[in-house]
Amino acid sequence: MTENATDRLARMLSLVPYISRRPGVGIDELAREFGVGRDQISADLDLLMVCGLPGYYPDDLIDVVLDDDGGTVSITFDAGIERPVRLTADEAQALLVALRALAQTPGLVETDAVQSALAKLAELDRPAAESTDVVRVLPADPAVEMGTVRDALDRSRRLWMRYYTASRDTVTERTVDPLRILVTDGHAYLEAYCHLARAIRHFRIDRIEAARVLDEPAQGSLWVDSEVPDRIFHPDPAVPPVEIELTGGARWVAEYYPVESVSPMPEPRPGVRVTIHAGSDEWLARLVLSLGGDAVVTNRPEITELVARRAEQALAAYDRR
């Protein structure tokens, strides 16, 4: 798996003070500490040797000293990188709030490890800890206990569940082999092999309406991408994009959903015009219906007709009652 530049930069900025405080530290120890291979540490050290202060003359570069057999390393000039990168006040506060949210989500993570991290962070930055004491994180109330999903994952057992698919507005019963729990884009997901879809799928845990751990062992996947995606949802390329004019109380859609483009609307109708790729036309119709008269589709008349039919069906249902 290719490492991104941000992760490598963060590691290298930590490597310099770590080695400076432990002259003669072993390459193997560095690899274990930073969770990478020996070859990667060697490549990082080679790069550090050509980094330093502006001017970049020999005396300005970080001085990395390897022993004769390349087993240990020291740094005799650190170019001012004397300590690990410190969090800003805003970063420390955000991290504290996020850790508290994790600690209050049953079954999602090892609570003891989160509490230990919270205590260490609070000790290092007491002002940030005190400023976030007034923040109370209210955990979500999922339709199914996270513990059921975690139990199936920990015991490597298949999981039966009843799941709501928002893009199709349907509820299905599925049997899955759990692989891992992900937290991304503000939601917790179960990554699992779905026997109904015959493929790996991601299930939002707050949309699992019921779940039961089965006695049958789960089959592990031959390959799982270790990276956590920024977003789980990917639009269906077969569904054409839709342009929607959002006014009044509907303008929040442009910030909440992934949109392709946003442009202001001219007076006298203040608002924004957005282009959205969705998972299905049915989902688009439900979205427009939920926004009332504050959302108007401008480029796909079939969606407008679908919205009208769904509205008529809803009114007819009220009349029958």
* Per-residue pLDDT tens over the stretch 8-67: 887 888 898 889 888 899 999 999 988 888 899 999 998 888 888 877 777 888 888 888
pTM, to two decimals: 0.49
The answer to whether 35 touches 24, Cβ cutoff 8 Å, is no
Mean pLDDT for all residues in the chain: 80
Among 239, 305, 309, 249, which Cα is nearest to 275's? 239
CA distance 158 to 160: 7
pLDDT value for 186: 67
149: Cβ–Cβ under 8 A, 6 or more apart, which residues? 107, 159, 178, 181, 190, 205, 208, 211
* Per-residue pLDDT tens over the stretch 287-308: 888 888 888 899 899 989 999 9
